[in-house]
Chain A
Amino acid sequence: MPKTKKKKPNVAIFSLTSCEGCQFSLLDLSEKFLELTEYVSVDEFRMISDLEPKKHYDISFIEGNPCTSKNLKFLKQIRKTSDIVVVLGNCADLGGVWEIKNYHDYKKYGAYVYKEHKTIENEKIIEVPKAIKVDYIIPGCPINAHNFLDLVYSLLNKTHWALFQNPVCWECQINKNPCLLQEGKICLGPIAIAGCNAVCLNSRQECWACRGILDDSKEKIENLIKILQNHGYGLEDILEKMEFFGARDRIEEAIQPMKKKK
């Protein structure tokens, strides 16, 4: 227990449209999470219980995507009442699987899927960092809960925290996995942010960059696309893999100057 009788910082974990898997990752920390509650007071965590909303939060974590206007309004409310806003997971960070619709004719598909589609809100997906100002991002689908712990410890100690700008290949090779790119599969490991311990690659599943794209990755992406094209894939196949976790817009943004030149 902290010796000083200072007020514990209050923390909120909000959930927008999502599978709520990131909240489960936090609960999977079990005693580590309970230990944390001695130092912070958890004032909002729907997965545990319904709590009265507070007027102010020191740290707010946001999981999920603001898919509806109600979500979006709520999100802006959170920003107003919170000192620090942390994005939790792929849905909030990159738009998640929801963002696939941005790349297609979503009005048409909406009508195909839902019988009474006119009553359904079907708007373009907005990523949380584009809707509001965010202070930290913990990426991944689901998040690596140890990133969450490290960030909270750093915030409590007022020290610096940032993810390593290393690709997934770094952890994949350390884990001695065979290279799926060499096997001719579409793997986005070289351009995706590490920190997941290459969990998909450990089970021989290609990386689809759920943790987002590295900074300054223009040359990397161009060269990766060249390698994949040499393996016989068309640009459409490659872009499709990039859509799954909403990384496609970031990738296209990163290689924009190249396209203009052409």
Chain B
Amino acid sequence: MNKTQFNKFVEYLLKKDNVFAPQRNVEGKLIIGPLKNAKDLYLGAELPLDSWKWYMIPPYQKMFDYKGDKMIETLPEANKQIFLGVSILDMQALTLLNQIFEQDPYYQEIKKKTIIIGTSHVPEDNFSEYFAEFEENKLEHLQFDIFLAVLGNDFKLYTGSEDGQRFLDDFGYKNYKHIEYAGPIREEGLDPQMVSVMDGMQNYHDQKIWDDLGKRCIQCGKCTIACPTCFCFRIFDKAHLQRGTGERDRCWDTCFYNEFTQTAGVAPDAPKHKMMNTTAQKIYFWYEHHFVRTPATFSLPGCVECGRCTRACPADIDVFQTQRDILAARTKGKKK
């Protein structure tokens, strides 16, 4: 697909459904938002500051209404949407979210109505081997609908789902290759970097790394919100005006906040108990989730190395540096 054809394709998408794509805002920051004009579209190596999860798991979501003891379920009123220009890293993150929320009706309702169009643009710095080079055989382990592989000035097109095929057929473009999703795990096995960081955290624990981070982190939780794979939420009830009515909602939450691990005491006024009390405990918990628990549960890296947390952090905590520290502690521990 050449440039002119591609521009026509974008116009076609804009006429069809709501398109979300990375674009520069008035302050010059690259942010994902509804695309109004084809010329605003940014396709390139820079990653947007926010991620696609804003549109897959909205920050606030109503789960159901209740009246007395009756539950009135409400699925999100999702419009058809197209994600245009999803980088291969973010595709990895969406593939992980698809697995995590496999049984979640709210996520699935939105996913059903979403077309994901990926690109092979990736940022140059801070890049692990696992994601770095785009190769065709990596695509069969990612979930997407259409993929644009950059070839000089042109794009080579792949489809990853029937929806994607139908989309291109309707547009009238036939020169694409279909790729069947073969599950998340690659033939060559798990990502070696992921395995060694996991091993480092589990078997060569170095408390000093976490104590040092605990002296810098301000528990603002911006890293978890910027992170494309962080998905924790809190569930809360909201009373309505009429007696006995209300709704149950969920909103994004963060393991850095005090109420995240708070449990109720026995009586209404009993002292509350918290599992995590210090900053060091909280930041360890976050890293453990991404680098130990997620790989152990889903065989996928919990961190796609997009560096969004590092960019969002007011305390300049670098996720890549922490990984290097974990690996250094592992090497040191092995020598002993």
Contacts and interface: CB of A to CB of B under 8 A. Distances in A.
Contacts of A224: 218
B59 interface: yes
Interface in A204-235: 214-216, 219-220, 223-224, 226-227
Provide the main secondary structure of the chain B interface: loop
Interface stretch (B3-11, B82-90, B239-247): B239-247
B279 interface: yes
A165 B257 contact: yes
Interface string B276-308: 011100000000000000000000000000000
A2 B242 CA distance: 8
Interface stretch (B120-128, B189-197, B221-229): B221-229
B29 interface: yes
Contacts of B246: 153, 157, 159
B241 A223 contact: no
Interface string B248-283: 000011100111000000000000000001110000
A201 B257 CA distance: 20
B137 to A, nearest CB: 35
Contacts of B257: 164-167, 170
Provide the main secondary structure of the chain A interface.
Answer: helix
Contact of A170 (B243, B244, B254, B277): B254
A35 B241 contact: yes
A165 B259 contact: yes
Given A35-B241, A159-B239, A178-B27, A190 B218 contact: yes
B235 to A, nearest CB: 12
Interface residues of B, number: 39
A147 to B, nearest CB: 11
Nearest to A181: B314
Given A157-B243, A174-B59, A174-B252, A227 B315 contact: yes
B214 interface: yes
A231 B225 CA distance: 24
A156 B27 contact: no
B218 A223 contact: yes
A220 B218 contact: yes
A190 B49 CA distance: 19
A223 B315 contact: yes
Contacts of A178: 27, 29
Given A157-B239, A176-B31, A167 B219 contact: yes
A226 B212 CA distance: 13
B25 to A, nearest CB: 8
Point out which of A2, A160, A165, A223 has the most chain B C-beta atoms below 10 A from its C-beta. A223
A169 B254 CA distance: 11
A223 B216 contact: yes
A148 interface: no
A153 B252 contact: no
Contacts of A169: 220-222
B177 interface: no
A223 B225 contact: no
A182 B314 contact: yes
A216 B215 CA distance: 15
Interface in A103-121: none
Interface centre among B27, B226, B257, B277 (most CB of A within 10 A): B257
Interface string A55-85: 0000000000000000000000000000000
A187 to B, nearest CB: 8
Nearest to B237: A159
A150 interface: yes
Nearest to A150: B238
A139 to B, nearest CB: 16
Contacts of A131: none
Given A153-B240, A173-B312, A178-B29, A219 B222 contact: no
Nearest to B244: A157
A244 interface: no
B50 interface: yes
A211 to B, nearest CB: 15
B217 interface: yes
22 contacts: A35-B241, A153-B239, A156-B239, A157-B244, A161-B239, A165-B257, A165-B258, A167-B220, A169-B221, A170-B252, A172-B222, A173-B312, A174-B59, A176-B31, A178-B29, A216-B258, A219-B278, A220-B218, A223-B279, A224-B218, A226-B215, A227-B315
Given A157-B240, A166-B257, 6 more contacts: A157-B246, A166-B221, A181-B314, A215-B258, A219-B278, A223-B279
Q: Which 6 A-B pairs have the closest CB atoms?
A: A169-B220, A181-B314, A190-B220, A157-B239, A153-B239, A173-B225
Interface of B: 27, 29, 31, 49-50, 59, 214-222, 225-226, 234, 237-241, 243-246, 252-254, 257-259, 277-279, 312, 314-315
